[in-house]
Amino acid sequence: MAARIIDGRAMAAEVRAEVASGVADLIVEGFEPPGLAVVLVGENPASQIYVANKIRQTQSVGMRSECFRLSSETSVQELISLIQRLNMDDAIDGILIQFPLPAHIDPAHVVNVIAAEKDVDGFHPLNVGHVANGARDALTPCTPLGAMRLIHSVHEDIAGMDALVVGASNVVGRPMARLLLQAQCTVSIAHIRTADLARLCRTADILVTATGVPGLIRGDYIKLGATVIDVGITRVQQETGKERLSGDVNFDEARQVAGAITPVPGGVGPMTIAYLLANTLHAAQCRRARGDTQSTPVQWNAISRADAAERCNQAEVEAGRTPKYSKGNE
């Protein structure tokens, strides 16, 4: 029997509905909506598309979004000065630096300048440490959070299951392994240089791969009935000259063996942006709970509250759920 296809787009719609509900609750309580600042350095065409999509989805759930577009000639100090201003800006709850950056800018240095409580990518060393320690309110990298949500859509409880993460990057592999360990899985980490990778993959009840090597994981690598989460996404040139998106997993082979599998595209990708929104909301909630905002809560007028409620209801409907707010009860 062919594997169940895990629908990342449908799951992402659920996450957006949850975020829109949380944003509406903040506004109804008298707070300003969360604010996300997106910084784009250079003219990378793919980055421009990603940024436009992130801004659109941020606004769709009722958050405010500001985009700062800088030239590829921007100096390191100019970028750092902007981030420092955003760190101090009370209207900004989350800061996102769109990667890749121009070659003359060190990404690690830039990440370290972002205030940890506004680091919605979860890359700041303090947030990495909080995730490693299992802190409940840690800002965690978005892709591993989305992958965990997809896994839990298949298995309510994954405690005691054997999990393998193929790929050991700081962005996906390592935080993914930590989240699986927190869920009480027995976790192994591999990578493209692992000896006899196929043998190791066949032991995994849950297989998460994030190497960026198209077709690395063949069907005969997979344990019968395993849940396979394919984070890899690479543009591959076809014989026709056109490009297609390919994951790390040979999908046609794997779906004949796995119990559940994510497609590429339409699997993990939509969840990454959805959890960027969730992290921004989480950062805003934490800042308000701590009293970090410098101004007192703004009492939004009835029109703003009604708009927030409408956005929430629209997101609920898109996720196939019952609208939360009834008319006149915002």
Position 299 scores a pLDDT of: 42
| Calpha distance 280→276 (Å, rounded) | 6
Average pLDDT of the residues in 168-177 = 96
In this predicted structure, the answer to whether residue 330 has a pLDDT above a threshold of 80 is no
Please give the C-alpha separations between residue 154 and each of 90, 197, 261, 323, in angstroms, as whole numbers: 40, 25, 10, 25
As annotated, the active-site residues are: 54, 98, 121
Give the highest mean pLDDT range of 24-38, 215-229, 282-296.
Answer: 215-229
Any known ligand binding at 192?
A: yes
Please check whether residue 177 is in contact with residue 165, taking contact to mean a CB–CB distance below 8 angstroms: yes
Answer whether residue 328 shows pLDDT above 60.
Answer: no
Residue 230: the pLDDT is 98
Looking at residues 145-158, what average pLDDT do you find?
98
For residue 171, pLDDT beyond 60: yes
Is residue 233 a known part of a binding site?
A: yes
Check residues 2 and 175 and name the one with the higher pLDDT. 175
Q: Are 211 and 248 in contact (CB under 8 A)?
A: yes
pTM (two decimals): 0.90
Whether 6 has a binding-site annotation, put simply, is: no
Give per-residue pLDDT as tens, 65-111. 999 999 999 999 999 999 999 999 999 999 999 999 999 999 999 99
Quick one: pLDDT at residue 305? 63
Residue 298 has pLDDT above 60, yes or no: no
Residues 6+ apart with CB under 8 A from 110: 76, 79, 80, 83, 97, 101
Residue 59 corresponds to which tokens in the numbers above?
């606004």
169 is annotated as contributing to ligand binding: yes
Domains of the chain and any CATH numbers: 32-114 (3.40.50.10860), 142-269 (3.40.50.720)
Omega prior to 33 cis, within 30 of 0 = no
CA 71 – CA 42 distance, rounded (Å): 5
Alpha-carbon torsion 317, 319, 322, 325, what sign? negative
Is 223 or 313 the better-scoring residue by pLDDT?
A: 223
Residue 293 has pLDDT above 90, yes or no: no
C-alpha–C-alpha distance, residues 223 and 254, integer Å: 10
- The mean pLDDT value for 252-281 works out to 97
Span 320-324, average pLDDT:
76
Q: 3-class DSSP state for residue 277?
A: helix
Q: Which two tokens stand for residue 212?
A: 């960026």
Strands of the sheet with 94-97, listed across from one edge: 64-70, 35-41, 94-97
pLDDT on residue 295: 43
pLDDT band at 307 (very low <50, low <70, confident <90, very high): confident
Give residue 43's pLDDT.
Answer: 92
Least confident piece of the model among 20-34, 89-103, 153-167, 263-277: 20-34
> Does the pLDDT of residue 303 top 50, yes or no?
no
**Mean pLDDT lowest for which of 111-120, 236-245, 256-265?**
236-245
The mean predicted confidence, pLDDT, of the chain is 92
pLDDT tier, 297 (very low <50, low <70, confident <90, very high otherwise):
very low
Residue range 121-132, pLDDT digits in tens:
999 999 999 999
Q: Residue 178: what pLDDT?
A: 97
Token look-up 């409940």 returns 136
Predicted confidence (pLDDT) at residue 292 exceeds the cutoff of 90: no
pLDDT level of residue 216 (50, 70, 90 thresholds) = very high
